[in-house]
Structure 1
Amino acid sequence: MACTMIVIAAFILGAAIGWIRATRLDGNRADKLQYAAAYGLALSVLGVFATVMIGRMG
Protein backbone atom coordinates (compact mmCIF):
# COMPACT_ATOMS: atom_id res chain seq x y z
CA MET A 1 0.00 0.00 0.00
CA ALA A 2 2.82 2.40 0.80
CA CYS A 3 4.35 1.81 -2.62
CA THR A 4 1.14 2.95 -4.31
CA MET A 5 1.29 6.12 -2.26
CA ILE A 6 4.70 6.93 -3.79
CA VAL A 7 3.20 6.97 -7.28
CA ILE A 8 0.20 9.05 -6.19
CA ALA A 9 2.40 11.54 -4.34
CA ALA A 10 4.72 11.77 -7.34
CA PHE A 11 1.78 12.53 -9.64
CA ILE A 12 0.42 15.24 -7.34
CA LEU A 13 3.85 16.80 -6.91
CA GLY A 14 4.49 16.70 -10.66
CA ALA A 15 1.11 18.24 -11.42
CA ALA A 16 1.77 21.05 -8.96
CA ILE A 17 5.22 21.70 -10.45
CA GLY A 18 3.79 21.72 -13.97
CA TRP A 19 0.99 24.11 -13.01
CA ILE A 20 3.45 26.50 -11.35
CA ARG A 21 5.83 26.32 -14.32
CA ALA A 22 3.04 27.15 -16.79
CA THR A 23 1.90 30.00 -14.56
CA ARG A 24 5.40 31.49 -14.54
CA LEU A 25 5.45 31.26 -18.34
CA ASP A 26 2.14 33.20 -18.49
CA GLY A 27 0.21 30.27 -19.90
CA ASN A 28 -3.54 30.15 -20.16
CA ARG A 29 -5.67 27.50 -18.45
CA ALA A 30 -5.15 24.91 -21.20
CA ASP A 31 -1.38 25.38 -20.99
CA LYS A 32 -1.48 24.93 -17.22
CA LEU A 33 -3.52 21.72 -17.55
CA GLN A 34 -1.19 20.36 -20.22
CA TYR A 35 1.94 21.13 -18.19
CA ALA A 36 0.33 19.65 -15.07
CA ALA A 37 -0.57 16.46 -16.92
CA ALA A 38 2.84 16.11 -18.54
CA TYR A 39 4.82 16.72 -15.36
CA GLY A 40 2.44 14.55 -13.37
CA LEU A 41 2.85 11.62 -15.75
CA ALA A 42 6.62 12.06 -15.92
CA LEU A 43 7.00 12.00 -12.15
CA SER A 44 4.57 9.09 -11.92
CA VAL A 45 6.82 7.04 -14.18
CA LEU A 46 9.75 7.87 -11.91
CA GLY A 47 7.59 6.90 -8.94
CA VAL A 48 6.84 3.53 -10.54
CA PHE A 49 10.55 2.91 -11.07
CA ALA A 50 11.22 3.89 -7.45
CA THR A 51 8.47 1.53 -6.32
CA VAL A 52 9.95 -1.35 -8.33
CA MET A 53 13.42 -0.67 -6.98
CA ILE A 54 12.15 -0.54 -3.39
CA GLY A 55 10.21 -3.76 -3.93
CA ARG A 56 13.21 -5.60 -5.31
CA MET A 57 15.52 -4.38 -2.55
CA GLY A 58 13.29 -5.37 0.33
Structure 2
Amino acid sequence: MKSARTYPCDPVDVDGMINLDFDEQGRLIGIEVLEASSKLPEYLLQSAKRLDIEGA
Protein backbone atom coordinates (compact mmCIF):
# COMPACT_ATOMS: atom_id res chain seq x y z
CA MET A 1 0.00 0.00 0.00
CA LYS A 2 1.35 3.41 -0.96
CA SER A 3 1.35 6.30 1.46
CA ALA A 4 -0.23 9.54 0.23
CA ARG A 5 1.09 11.63 3.12
CA THR A 6 3.70 11.19 5.82
CA TYR A 7 3.70 13.28 8.98
CA PRO A 8 6.90 13.29 11.02
CA CYS A 9 6.38 13.52 14.78
CA ASP A 10 8.92 14.17 17.51
CA PRO A 11 7.10 13.35 20.76
CA VAL A 12 9.06 14.39 23.84
CA ASP A 13 7.99 11.35 25.91
CA VAL A 14 9.30 8.91 23.30
CA ASP A 15 12.74 10.48 22.89
CA GLY A 16 12.76 9.70 19.18
CA MET A 17 11.16 10.23 15.79
CA ILE A 18 7.93 8.66 14.57
CA ASN A 19 6.52 8.92 11.04
CA LEU A 20 2.77 8.48 10.52
CA ASP A 21 1.69 7.39 7.02
CA PHE A 22 -1.80 8.11 5.70
CA ASP A 23 -3.62 6.97 2.56
CA GLU A 24 -5.61 9.13 0.12
CA GLN A 25 -8.68 9.04 2.42
CA GLY A 26 -6.71 10.21 5.44
CA ARG A 27 -6.64 6.78 7.12
CA LEU A 28 -3.58 5.80 9.11
CA ILE A 29 -1.85 2.97 7.22
CA GLY A 30 1.57 2.84 8.84
CA ILE A 31 3.71 3.88 11.77
CA GLU A 32 7.48 4.05 11.43
CA VAL A 33 9.50 4.23 14.64
CA LEU A 34 13.01 5.41 13.85
CA GLU A 35 15.66 3.59 15.88
CA ALA A 36 12.95 1.13 16.95
CA SER A 37 15.44 -1.43 18.23
CA SER A 38 16.54 0.98 20.95
CA LYS A 39 13.03 2.27 21.76
CA LEU A 40 10.67 -0.73 21.71
CA PRO A 41 10.59 -3.99 23.67
CA GLU A 42 11.99 -7.09 21.94
CA TYR A 43 8.63 -8.95 21.90
CA LEU A 44 7.05 -6.09 19.96
CA LEU A 45 9.90 -5.95 17.47
CA GLN A 46 9.62 -9.71 16.89
CA SER A 47 5.90 -9.45 16.08
CA ALA A 48 6.18 -6.37 13.83
CA LYS A 49 5.99 -6.67 10.05
CA ARG A 50 8.94 -5.04 8.30
CA LEU A 51 8.10 -3.23 5.09
CA ASP A 52 11.60 -2.02 4.26
CA ILE A 53 12.89 -5.39 3.05
CA GLU A 54 12.27 -7.19 -0.22
CA GLY A 55 9.33 -9.60 -0.15
CA ALA A 56 7.67 -8.00 2.87
Q: What TM-score results when the alignment is normalised by the length of structure 1?
A: 0.24
**Which structure would you say has the larger Rg?**
1
TM-score of the two chains, using structure 2 as the length reference: 0.24
The structure richer in strand per residue is 2
Structure number with higher helix proportion: 1
